[in-house]
Amino acid sequence: MNPPLTRALARLSALTLLAGLAIAGPASPASAADLTLTVDVGQVVRPATQVASGGLYGVGSDSQPTTDMLLPLNPTSFTQPPPGTTHLGNGATEPCCDALDVGHNITRAGAQQFIRLPDIYPTFPYEWQGWADWEQKVTTMVEDRLAATDTTNIHGWELWNEPDWTWDTQAAGSFNDGWTRTYELVRSLDPVTPIVGPSPSVYRHDDMLDFMTHARDTGTVPDVIVWHELDDMNWDSFDDHVADYRAIEEQLGISPRPIAINEYNSFNQMDIPSVALHWMSVFERHGAREAHRAYWFEAGTFDGLFTLDDEPTASYWLYRWYGEMTGNIVATTPESWLDGVASYDSSRQIVNVAFGGDWGDNTVDVTGLDSFGSSVDVRILSTPGSGRHTHVAEPTVVHEATMPVSGGRISVPVNGMDAEGAYQLLVTPAGGPTTTWQQVYEAENATVVNARTRSSGQASNGYYVGGIDGDADMRSDSFVDFTVNVPEARGYTMTIDYANGTGATSTHGLAYNGSDWSTVSYPPTAGWGRFETTSVTVDLDAGYNVIRLAKGSPHFEGGTGYAEIDRITLS
């Protein structure tokens, strides 16, 4: 975020040399052809949670982007500036995007957020004003958040940003000592909210090892490990970075932490859909919990997914296809620069593949379609490589056909590919999906707050959500938010697959679209992870709705006992 002038000028100079941006230079593909992306529907990678669908300063206010604009993208999380921010990012004339000001918009969209503490300073790089000033600022920021008792979904304090070049060692001492001092202050004020870091601008082994050793020895290890991935065409290094970090954890005897990349994509390539696709693919494949588009330009546009006039850009359509992924992320095997991310929703028998990154006439092979019958319908859409100021009203239909399935496999030709654009392939049994609208919503695909996704052969889709136990306050309240999309406004029967091993009836609170709270009762089941069903009626609006099932939540007294959630079904 906000590189120093020399760094920005270097990247702008590089921009003038790149005729095709993502595809220029010695490592770029030639006019490639006959490449194959393989999608294995039978090989599950993880539940679909839109890992890469987050943004830094992506939400500008309670209405920019509007919640209705955000919901189709199914965003996961954001990093926002702190309460009372004075930060003037990227040439702005007024501060924006205060975490508490945008908090309800983010929550309504089914997302969560980190609060970036050093963005209380007006300039970048930050101008250190001394420890007394910093500690007073930190205390005020944390206390302001704690006073916002109806704001949920804040799931981390980011103590500093890019310390490898923004921390004033001469004035403030070593960053590692500064981390410990700030960590202990935040923890003394708020012992509940996770702390995330160290947030360097690039991943370096020696720096991470030094930091983690110091953090272990001082009892200040972050709850979530954060670093940035901002270099041109560097997605192939992400798996090495993850492997190196995991080896450091093992070496130091530190239990595995979630990994968040809360800035990704370079200045030069921010608005090229195929580059974003590469990042999506590696984050899903190599185990990031969440990742946020970088903030190089205008705040509040979801980092270029919307124009300044709040209209979709080319990249928007890639992220919308990604947002539609439900069920499980399944294995994809790239070839050269042709890559992709894919999901399989067994409840509707839909395979959704977002792909691209190379030129020419290529192929997408999809295997594991034995249950789809003897033929399938395929549909290919494309979005161009245009940038953040170009409105793209809708994607282009490239190809629609019915294809025979042989040995559970199809090979779909995709001719004349543009290396900067992105593509969507939808595969359904001939005649369309099992239902005309999505009725089954897996808990592991939902927004899971202060609870845990667990695997089980007894669960639908192989996963469920347990540990929905917290009800102390807005920081520790446990709930699951389901974002559903229904065809008409009416009352729907909502069937909940749940488990309750307490031996007595348990309850959750139920609310949706700002409704009053009601209660869902869960009679005992045969044990934990042993699922039965209960049903309630919900009055939903046509289009998107967010349904919350909560052990604890603001304005709700709290559920009784405990219950696990496998899925909900609307009918």
Give residue-wise pLDDT tens across range 139-151.
999 999 999 999 9
From 352, 369, 372, select the one nearest 41 (Cα to Cα). 369
b/e map 417-447, b = 16+ CB within 10 Å? bbbbbbbbbbbbbeeebbeeebbbbbbbbbb
Q: How far apart are CA 392 and CA 275, in angstroms?
A: 18
The answer to whether the beta carbons of residues 322 and 300 sit under 8 Å apart is no
Query: Which burial class, exposed, middle or buried, applies to 534 when counting CB atoms under 10 A from its CB (0-12, 13-18, 19+)?
Result: middle
pLDDT at 435: 86
Q: In the beta sheet, which residues pair with residue 452? A: 466
pLDDT at 31: 53
**Considering just the CA atoms, what is the radius of gyration of the chain in Å?**
23
The answer to whether the beta carbons of residues 23 and 419 sit under 8 Å apart is yes
pLDDT at 18: 33
The model carries a pTM of: 0.94
pLDDT at 434: 82
Q: Can you list the residues of the chain whose pLDDT is less than 50?
A: 2-28, 30
From 376, 492, 475, select the one nearest 441 (Cα to Cα). 492
From 326, 307, 325, 305, select the one nearest 316 (Cα to Cα). 305
pLDDT at 29: 52
pLDDT at 11: 31
From 313, 263, 259, select the one nearest 286 (Cα to Cα). 259
The answer to whether the beta carbons of residues 499 and 563 sit under 8 Å apart is yes
